[in-house]
Amino acid sequence: MSNTQVLFKSEPKGLPTPDNFDIVTVPMPGIEDGQFLLKNYFLSLDPYQRMLMGGGWTYAPRFLAPGDLMIGRVLGEVIETKNADFPVGTHVVGRLGWQTHVVSDGTDLDFIITPKQDVPLSAYLGACGSTGTTAWIGLKITGRAKAGETVLVSAAAGSVGGTVGQLAKAMDCKAIGIAGGPDKCKTVVEDFGFDACVDYKAPDLEAQIRAASPDGVDVYFDNVGGAVLDAAMANMNKFGRIPVCGVLSAYNEEGASYGVKNMHLFFDKSLTMEGFVLNVHKARWPEARAEIEDLIVADRLISRETVAQGIENAPSAFIGMLEGKNVGKQLVKLV
Ligand SMILES: NC(=O)c1ccc[n+]([C@@H]2O[C@H](COP(=O)([O-])OP(=O)(O)OC[C@H]3O[C@@H](n4cnc5c(N)ncnc54)[C@H](OP(=O)(O)O)[C@@H]3O)[C@@H](O)[C@H]2O)c1
């Protein structure tokens, strides 16, 4: 049996190109006692993978080196086993790399999927997986959103952002999105059920946000940083919270990221800005997943996906996601 892998080849200058990746096919080793063989069905593409390719900064212990397997989560099924805890047919999610097959002993997994009727398997890499869990943690734990408040979120047509707004609506908050272009804004309102969505690529974002949320913003869930953050901060209410989830505006940039321009607003309005990372909150993942599963089953939340076909198309799908071509979770279907 063979395994197809995507390897890191070279550091991109700005937006990655297909030349920054290598695709190789290698033989699969046999499994030993305690191990099992996974056939991977879906690969999750995520903006943090750009950080790992170098050029700027990373929160990981190190950047990828040429020849390393690209890091990423996969959803796979056990097809051979010498581990009684992982019988054939078990579905799992783990950060096991951009590859079609992998041998595991179970210690490197995120979770075993307990399939739930009406929840598609692929949702365990999206709304019920790391991005949905990120949305839940940032909104509820870091952002401390409460019913009746106004929640603003950037990258609102994406995987984390789209789930943030849907969770906010389920909590009886008002949800305002920020996305790139009129088509994405339409999707955010019509498909994800936000109250409004404003286009950061159109002029005067600050005034657009003010018009969409005349009572001000209580929680700004920041996925992008940069000038969008300035416009959001200008619209915050007193005691507003800004959970910082990511800095999409900077992942393809070299050097230090854009600074906060309106420092005085922190004391004028008693604002709190707090970063968070998913892995720090592992104990809350099952609770988040269960709540999101229930919302999907009740038709109150959708796990929207953009799906590329075949591992050989993973690099181009990844580049497309960084350019904003995705709506919802960007996946690659591997088989
Ligand atoms: N803290 C954590 O533990 C954690 C965990 C997971 C994800 N994250 C972060 O969450 C954020 C969203 O991730 P995701 O997986 O849901 O990705 P995503 O939003 O599904 O996809 C990326 C989107 O970013 C937008 N974008 C690209 N360049 C931009 C720019 N310069 N300014 C504004 N928006 C830009 C594009 O949408 P438009 O077309 O609208 O521009 C694109 O569709 C990222 O910052 C990611 O790093 C953090």
Residue 212 is assigned to a structural domain of this protein: yes
Residue 10 is assigned to a structural domain of this protein: yes
Q: Are residues 141 and 32 in the same domain?
A: no
**Can you give the CATH number for the domain in which 39 is found?**
3.90.180.10
Q: Are residues 31 and 172 in the same domain?
A: no
Q: Could you tell me the residue range of the domain that residue 202 belongs to? A: 130-279
Single-letter amino acid code for the residue at 168: A
- 280-304: buried (b, 16+ CB within 10 Å) or exposed (e) per residue? ebeeebeebbebbbebbeeeebbbb
CA of 253 to the centre of ligand 1 (A): 14
**Using CA atoms, how far apart are residues 107 and 55, in angstroms rounded to an integer?**
31
Closest-CA residue, ligand 1 atom 13, reads 160
pLDDT at 256 over 80: no
Q: Are residues 149 and 233 in the same domain?
A: yes
Give the mutation target among 58, 110, 160 for probing the ligand 1 site: most ligand atoms within 8 A of CB. Answer: 160
Residue 63 is assigned to a structural domain of this protein: yes
Residue 67 is assigned to a structural domain of this protein: yes
pLDDT at 160 over 80: yes
Cβ–ligand 1 distance for 161 under 6 Å, the answer: yes
Q: Are 277 and 59 in contact (CB under 8 A)?
A: yes
Terminal alpha carbon distance of the chain: 15
Structure-model confidence comparison of residues 58 and 25, the more confident one: 25
Cβ–ligand 1 distance for 280 under 6 Å, the answer: no
Looking at the structure of the chain, the number of domains it has is 2
Residue 290 is assigned to a structural domain of this protein: no
CA of 218 to the centre of ligand 1 (A): 21
Cα separation values, 27 from 5, 102, 103, 319, Å: 11, 11, 12, 28
Percentage, residues of the chain above pLDDT 90: 93
Both tokens assigned to 213 = 């949320």
Q: Are residues 274 and 146 in the same domain?
A: yes
What pLDDT does 259 receive? Answer: 82
Q: Are residues 193 and 139 in the same domain?
A: yes
- 238-274: buried (b, 16+ CB within 10 Å) or exposed (e) per residue? eebbbbbbbbbbbbbeeeeebeeeeeebbeebebebe
Q: Are residues 118 and 236 in the same domain?
A: no
pLDDT at 57 over 90: no
Residue 298 is assigned to a structural domain of this protein: no
Atom of ligand 1 nearest to the CA of 46: 15
Q: Are 167 and 219 in contact (CB under 8 A)?
A: no
Residue 38 is assigned to a structural domain of this protein: yes
The pLDDT tens digits of the residues spanning 94-139 come to: 999 999 999 999 999 999 999 899 999 999 999 999 999 999 999 9
CA of 21 to the centre of ligand 1 (A): 21
Q: What is the mean pLDDT of residues 272-279?
A: 96
Atom of ligand 1 nearest to the CA of 248: 45
Place of tokens 């870091």: 142
What pLDDT does 51 receive? Answer: 93
Cβ–ligand 1 distance for 162 under 6 Å, the answer: no
Closest-CA residue, ligand 1 atom 45, reads 246
Q: Are residues 211 and 171 in the same domain?
A: yes
pLDDT at 89 over 80: yes
Cβ–ligand 1 distance for 135 under 6 Å, the answer: no
pTM for the full model? 0.97
Q: What is the mean pLDDT of residues 269-278?
A: 97
List the one residue out of 202, 153, 158 whose CA is nearest residue 177. 153
Cβ–ligand 1 distance for 72 under 6 Å, the answer: no
**Can you give the CATH number for the domain in which 253 is found?**
3.40.50.720
Residue 284 is assigned to a structural domain of this protein: no
Q: Are residues 192 and 322 in the same domain?
A: no
Cβ–ligand 1 distance for 277 under 6 Å, the answer: yes
Q: Are residues 139 and 51 in the same domain?
A: no
Q: What is the mean pLDDT of residues 284-294?
A: 98
Q: What is the mean pLDDT of residues 194-217?
A: 98
Single-letter amino acid code for the residue at 274: E
pLDDT at 20 over 80: yes
Q: Are residues 72 and 29 in the same domain?
A: yes
**Using CA atoms, how far apart are residues 294 and 167, in angstroms rounded to an integer?**
12
Cβ–ligand 1 distance for 100 under 6 Å, the answer: no
Q: Are residues 143 and 271 in the same domain?
A: yes
Q: Are residues 65 and 157 in the same domain?
A: no
Closest-CA residue, ligand 1 atom 6, reads 131
